[in-house]
Amino acid sequence: MTGRSRLLLSEAWRSLGANFSTTAAATLTVLIGMFLLGLFIALGTWTVSWSNHVKHELVVKVQIRNTLDKKPVTRAQETAFARSLQSNPYVKQDGIQFVSKAQALREMKKRYPDLTESLPYNPLKDQFNLTPNKPENVDRLYASITGTHESPLVLKVTDGKQLSHRILQVAHVIEAVFVIATLVLVFASILLISNTIRLSIFSRRREIEVMKLVGATNWFVRGPFMLEGLICGLAGSLLAVFFLVLAKAIVMPALNITSLSGDSDVHAMAFPMVALLLLGGGLALGAVGSGLTIRRFLQV
């Protein structure tokens, strides 16, 4: 580090100490804004990853009646219905899975033994699980086997998109809240950093006049103020990364968030990348806040 660089840095530190209250407020606001931004990035990327996973897991479930015209539905009738499903343009190749009511009951006994131990009979139905050829075609697949196209064998047709839509709506509301809160705090951070720099300029106005009279360059006069903004932004973003590390190590295991989806393809953005984005964001806030203030109040 050259002598001039050390001088600029020492001037910046001295000014920050002289306006400690506004410096602390600016740094704290950057901290909160960057912390919320980190949460938003993690939540948003996890939600996108999860929604993509859900799209590929969407199936249309077709329950078959036990009786038709007061006669038991035969396996031949179910086979004929399966053949008709194979010709459906929206069904994925090899995307038809037949689940008998006996098989479904066995699975239910494994998952919910307490609920099924006293059942007097099997209340479940034979069922076809249909996978669409594209996740976006699940609505078309649903429409193609319901309404006027519905077979008399069909008792009920359900798809998982209604549930996924509701969950995604809640996730989008949470994301919107985080976005609005982050934007407000980012704006507040810029204002507070700008106010810190403006107070520093005001308190050193005579010193600035003397520096210009003795031939100091514009960059030498502006440098400490730019460094002040960058230091506030960097300090706030470093603290945000620190608290995110604590949250990741302590809060997340306690809340057991990963149990929401144990699938390996559902994940948020890698934490090192989030940390780099936050550090870059903090430096950008400091640069913008100090740059706007210098441009407006420091005419050198």
DSSP classification of residue 74: P
**pLDDT less than 70: residues of the chain:** 1-19, 22, 52, 54-57, 161-165, 167-168, 171, 175, 203-204, 207-208, 211, 216, 218, 252-265, 296-300
CATH architecture assignment, domain 59-159: 2-Layer Sandwich (3.30)
- Give the count of beta carbons closer than 10 Å to the beta carbon of residue 145: 21
What is the model's pLDDT at position 12?
Answer: 60
The pLDDT tens digits for 83-112 are: 999 989 999 888 899 999 999 888 888 888
Q: In what order do the strands lie in the sheet with 127-132?
A: 91-99, 127-132, 60-64, 154-159
DSSP string, 266-279: -----HHHHHHHHH
Burial of 38 (C-beta count, 10 Å sphere; 0-12/13-18/19+): buried
Domain extent listing, the chain: 3-54+165-297, 59-159
d(CA 298, CA 204): 11
The pLDDT tens digits for 1-16 are: 565 566 556 666 666 6
Give the predicted TM-score (pTM) of the model: 0.61
At position 117, the amino acid (one-letter code) is E
What is the model's pLDDT at position 41?
Answer: 81
What is the model's pLDDT at position 44?
Answer: 75
